[in-house]
Amino acid sequence: MIAIETKGASRVYKSYTKQQGFRGSVRGFFRRSYVEKTALHPTDLQIHSGQIVGLVGANGAGKTTLLKLLSGLISPTHGKVLALGFNPFDRKKEYLQQMSLLLGQKNQLWWDISSRDSFALLAEIYSLDRSLTEKKIAEITQALDCESVLDTQLRRLSLGERMKMEIVGSLLHSPKLLLLDEPTIGLDIVAQTQIRNFLLNYVKDMKPTIILTSHYMDDIAQLADQLLLMSKGRIVYNGSVSKFTNATKKQKLVGFSFPEPLKGPQKILNVNLAQGQQIFEVEISELELPQFLSRLTLLPGIANLTISAANFEDEIRDFMQNESAKV
Amino acid sequence: MLKGRSLLRRNFAFFKLAIVSQLEYRLNFFVDAVMQPLLGTGVEVLLWLGIFQTSGPTFGGFSMQDYLAYVIWSPFISRITSTWLYEYKMIAEIDNGSINGLLVRPMSFFEYYLSQFLGYKFFTTSVSLVIPVGFILYFRLPTDFSRLPIVLVSIFYFLILVQMMSFTIATFAFYLNKVYSLTAAKNFLLWFLTGELLPLDIVPEPYRSWIIGLPFCNAVYLPVGYLTGRLSKEIFLRGFITTTYGILFFAVAGIILWKQGLKKYVGTGA
């Protein structure tokens, strides 16, 4: 079953350009000039129910615009968007009741009251059963290890605690579609891991459709089963995470050292080994690896040789750099 | 039936949210609900006592007793019916994009702010009501306290119109940035049109009749006039009709501007 479908959906933003300096401000006061920027080029997309999609791209790639279209915050300039069978921009209660948007960089709970009061308010907004909601709050806060701060005013919580509370709030109504925009941004490694593990267990149990954007590739690698890579408002890769790693040029990391710093520069294939350096770690494509190793091992005193796969983050970065370089 | 019940429960929750938020900041609440009305009323009374001592027994056809009753009730009621706090909040939500968190919930932005606004006004009014009542009793000024309940009902009915106006002004934030000056301009205009600045009886004809034909005099002039016994019940009740016209007018304007505004909205900051 298809949960999300876009047909030629695009979005163009119009913004005012201010000329530099005082004179520019005065001129702009009387005559404004505007530029149009295409944040999302016509996009066709299908996402099946229960899929977890990692949405990756550089800043300005169009990720958040896509999420805003799916949540109904903005309308497409052209084309159609359907989510759970609804046009999100109609903001039908039946759709909003089944959807949740978590913006990692914005508070959505109420700043002046405790999280418990915020959840009680959300229970009324979503017409939830009170006792079931309380049970759910207890379960999720326990899983996220944040039950001790439930009665603390939101503004007094740390960033990690606040984000955990935002996650609780976004899941109270058991959404079928969960849009997570940078849910682990700015968090320490412990909080990141806790949230990641929690989401892993949650999706196993509840099977919602999730679209997740994150700058931490570990989030994507561990949670997502489908990858959407965006660059300059276009989807440049749409497929499974495993296919992506197979399709991209596989890189290996080769580490080695010499008994003493190199007395002169050396070159093996395209890799330069600098004079005066003793320990090296270089990236080699899988194809060139045998040839590189056969030449490397001829060098006198070579030791501590290690070979490991380049990580997912490196592969994404290389792919995105190649895409950005394209006109 | 079930929908109506959940709508009521939801809005009662918003109503309580405003009160709970107020109670979190005790000093702010004390200054807002007690100190400000107390100082404002005290200054008005002293000012007009001084004016009457030099000008004689009447001013603009009003006796000192009548005028003092007016200047005590007028700022109290206008404090209820004027708004900038929630209007600023609504503008800021649209301006900085925090409205995103509200738009994705199954509720309306208007009901969310209307119920909070009413909750805030209900709570602060309940507390600060003791101030004008105390002054009136102390100076033995003309006030028919049996009329107070219906006057409060009319004021809270007028608050729906106030919120409609605020909502309409806030929708301009979809089209332009930083529209806070509209709030200041609107409040300045209402300062005069409501009769807060001076009793509208002083305004020459035909301007007086024109102004009284507008719904804004229901904010101060009509309720204060009725409460202090200068206006008849018939004139006062007519105010409900003009308030209703005002609500309908701003509801239509607000809904049109809101719907068009959402199309222009770019989801700032998300």
Q: How confident is the model at residue A88 (pLDDT cuts 50, 70, 90)?
A: very high
User: Is pLDDT at B116 greater than 80 in this prediction?
Assistant: yes
What would the two tokens of residue A98 be? 């089944």
pTM of the model: 0.81
% chain A with pLDDT above 90? 35
Work out the average pLDDT over B131-145: 89
Euclidean distance between CA atoms A143 and A158, whole angstroms = 18
Reduce the DSSP state of residue B268 to 3 states and report it. coil
Cα nearest neighbour of B21 on chain A: A112
ipTM exceeds 0.90, yes or no? no
Euclidean distance between CA atoms B95 and B262, whole angstroms = 12
pLDDT digits (tens, 9 = 90+) for A52-86: 999 988 888 888 899 999 999 999 999 999 999 99
Higher pLDDT pick, A244 / A11: A11
Euclidean distance between CA atoms B163 and A34, whole angstroms = 34
Which chain B residues contact residue A117 at CB under 8 A? 17, 20
The Cα of B4 is separated from the nearest Cα of chain A by a number of Å equal to 11
- A106–B103 CB contact, under 8 Å: no
Q: What was the pLDDT predicted at A307?
A: 84
Reduce the DSSP state of residue A91 to 3 states and report it. coil
What would the two tokens of residue A250 be? 């596989």
Euclidean distance between CA atoms B75 and B59, whole angstroms = 19
Work out the average pLDDT over B14-32: 89
- A110–B21 CB contact, under 8 Å: yes
CA A118 to chain centre: 26
Q: What was the pLDDT predicted at A59?
A: 80
Q: Which helix (H) or strand (E) holds A41?
A: strand A33-48
CA A251 to chain centre: 23
Q: What was the pLDDT predicted at B121?
A: 92
User: Is pLDDT at A218 greater than 80 in this prediction?
Assistant: no
What would the two tokens of residue A304 be? 């501590």
| A132 Cβ contact partners less than 8 Å away, ≥ 6 residues apart | none
Q: What was the pLDDT predicted at A204?
A: 84
Half-sphere exposure of A243 (CA within 13 A, CB side): 9
Q: What was the pLDDT predicted at B117?
A: 93
Half-sphere exposure of B219 (CA within 13 A, CB side): 31
Mutate: best of B2, B16, B105, partner A, most A CBs <10 A: B105
DSSP conformational letter for A307: E
Reduce the DSSP state of residue A72 to 3 states and report it. coil
Q: How confident is the model at residue B6 (pLDDT cuts 50, 70, 90)?
A: confident
Q: What was the pLDDT predicted at A324?
A: 67
- Name the residue facing B21 among A108, A112, A125 (closest C-beta): A112
Q: How confident is the model at residue A87 (pLDDT cuts 50, 70, 90)?
A: very high
Pairing of β A266-268 and β A303-309: unpaired
Which chain A residues contact residue B103 at CB under 8 A? 72-73, 91
Domain with B131 in it: 2-264
What would the two tokens of residue A31 be? 């005559």
Q: Is residue B142 part of a domain?
A: yes
Q: What was the pLDDT predicted at A247?
A: 63
Higher pLDDT pick, A223 / B13: B13
Euclidean distance between CA atoms A226 and A224, whole angstroms = 5
Closest CA to A176 of A76, A75, A70, A81: A70
Q: Which of A13-22, B79-88, B134-143, B170-179 is predicted with the least confidence, judged by mean pLDDT?
A: A13-22
Q: What was the pLDDT predicted at A326?
A: 64
The Cα of B93 is separated from the nearest Cα of chain A by a number of Å equal to 12
Q: What was the pLDDT predicted at A100?
A: 94
Which chain A residues contact residue B12 at CB under 8 A? 124
∠ CA B67-B72-B77, nearest 5°, is: 120
Work out the average pLDDT over A135-139: 93
Q: Is A77 on the interface with B (CB under 8 A)?
A: no
Q: Is residue B270 part of a domain?
A: no
- B10–A127 CB contact, under 8 Å: yes
How many Cβ atoms sit within 10 Å of the Cβ of residue A250? 15
Q: Is B98 on the interface with A (CB under 8 A)?
A: yes
Q: Is residue B191 part of a domain?
A: yes
Supply the mean pLDDT for chain B.
Answer: 88
Q: Is A280 on the interface with B (CB under 8 A)?
A: no
Q: What was the pLDDT predicted at A210?
A: 93
Which chain A residues contact residue B106 at CB under 8 A? 93, 96-97, 125-126
Work out the average pLDDT over B138-165: 91
- A113–B269 CB contact, under 8 Å: no
Q: What was the pLDDT predicted at A320?
A: 72
Cα nearest neighbour of A104 on chain B: B270
% chain B with pLDDT above 90? 40
Work out the average pLDDT over B60-86: 84
- A124–B103 CB contact, under 8 Å: no
- B270–A106 CB contact, under 8 Å: yes
Euclidean distance between CA atoms A66 and A38, whole angstroms = 12
Domain count, chain B: 1
Q: Is A110 on the interface with B (CB under 8 A)?
A: yes
Work out the average pLDDT over B131-146: 90
Half-sphere exposure of B7 (CA within 13 A, CB side): 9
pLDDT digits (tens, 9 = 90+) for A108-128: 899 889 999 999 999 999 999
Which chain A residues contact residue B267 at CB under 8 A? 64, 68, 73-74
Euclidean distance between CA atoms B250 and A50, whole angstroms = 44
Q: Is residue B269 part of a domain?
A: no
Whole-number Cα distances in Å, B176 to A15, A19, A35, B48: 12, 19, 16, 42
Reduce the DSSP state of residue A272 to 3 states and report it. strand
Higher pLDDT pick, B257 / A220: B257
Q: Is B20 on the interface with A (CB under 8 A)?
A: yes
- Name the residue facing B106 among A13, A110, A126 (closest C-beta): A126
User: Is pLDDT at B34 greater than 70 in this prediction?
Assistant: yes
- B263–A75 CB contact, under 8 Å: yes
User: Is pLDDT at B2 greater than 70 in this prediction?
Assistant: no
Work out the average pLDDT over B159-175: 93
Cα nearest neighbour of B112 on chain A: A125
- B20–A113 CB contact, under 8 Å: yes
> What secondary structure does DSSP assign to A204-257, as a single string?
HHH--EEEEE-S-HHHHHHH-SEEEEEETTEEEEEEEHHHHHHHSPPEEEEEEE
- A72–B103 CB contact, under 8 Å: yes
Supply the mean pLDDT for chain A.
Answer: 86
Q: Is B89 on the interface with A (CB under 8 A)?
A: no
Q: How confident is the model at residue A133 (pLDDT cuts 50, 70, 90)?
A: very high
- B97–A106 CB contact, under 8 Å: yes
What would the two tokens of residue A227 be? 């990858």
Q: What was the pLDDT predicted at A71?
A: 93
User: Is pLDDT at A157 greater than 70 in this prediction?
Assistant: yes
Mutate: best of B6, B98, B102, B104, partner A, most A CBs <10 A: B104
∠ CA B57-B62-B67, nearest 5°, is: 95
Half-sphere exposure of A183 (CA within 13 A, CB side): 32
- Name the residue facing B266 among A71, A74, A122 (closest C-beta): A74
Which chain B residues contact residue A122 at CB under 8 A? 105
